[in-house]
Amino acid sequence: MLKGKNAVITGSTSGIGLGIARALAREGVNVMLNGLGDPGETERTRASLEKEFKVDVRYDGGDLSQAEACVALIHKAEEAFGSVDILVNNVGIQHVVPTQDFPPAKWDAILAINLSSYFHTIRTALPGMQTRGWGRIVNTASVHGLVASIDKAAYVAAKHGVVGLTKVVALENAEANITCNAICPGWVDTPLVQAQIQTRAAKFGGDIEAGKRDLLGEKQPSKRFATPEDIGAMALYFCSEAAHNVTGVALPIDGGWTAQ
């Protein structure tokens, strides 16, 4: 249903972003990957997607904490594919410490990557979508875009900002056949939460499984992690024709976290 469309997915060389990239590529979407990491591993990921799904897969390693890199990413995809029809903002970093101890440099970095990069890619991609009369924007927010947790001042602030940005873009483009929605995952077993699992595991003599149970038990009633594949399936739905009238939504995938 999306064959021949072109997508940019930020933070897509692993974890949730890669799950979304696989979901879209499986439907025939050409994909521009973005992220940091080992160049050799990144190239293997890119080539594997291209070979498995028979689509055009490119890669951009721009540092999205910089506005210029966000703009360049969209332009690079437009030059490579001819258009950016689907934009998935997923890139994110985390730092966990009480507010009074939060390093200002970490605050600035998290806001730049987790919120400002979303604004810069959206503002750059929108004109082309508006001209063509079709576009799908999916922002990975977080359950922390809806509720708060201690020691995560910058992350919670940024993710609440993503939900607000999503609503504004949805309203501004409601008649233009351009939707903008946010996915709000709870705990997903990805590299981003590994440090928090390790911290919990330390309370149990380094038992990783015990650390996972402790982390899940505190917030997520299902006591199960979501998977990148779960998030990919939801992103695919938001991009589908079935969701043509779904816009401005912040949808939790959180095992009941926000139902409490």
Active site residues per annotation: 155
**Residues 53/97, Cβ–Cβ less than 8 Å:** no
The pairing of strands 135-140 and 30-34 is: unpaired
Structure tokens at 93: 């970093």
Cα(248)–Cα(260) distance, rounded to whole angstroms? 23
Using alpha carbons only, give the angle 178, 179, 180 rounded to the nearest 5 degrees. Answer: 130
For residues 134 and 117, is the Cβ–Cβ distance under 8 A? no
Q: Rounded to whole angstroms, how far apart are CA atoms 13 and 36?
A: 7
Is the CB of residue 78 less than 8 Å from the CB of residue 84?
yes
Q: Is the dihedral of CA 240, 242, 245, 246 positive or negative?
A: negative
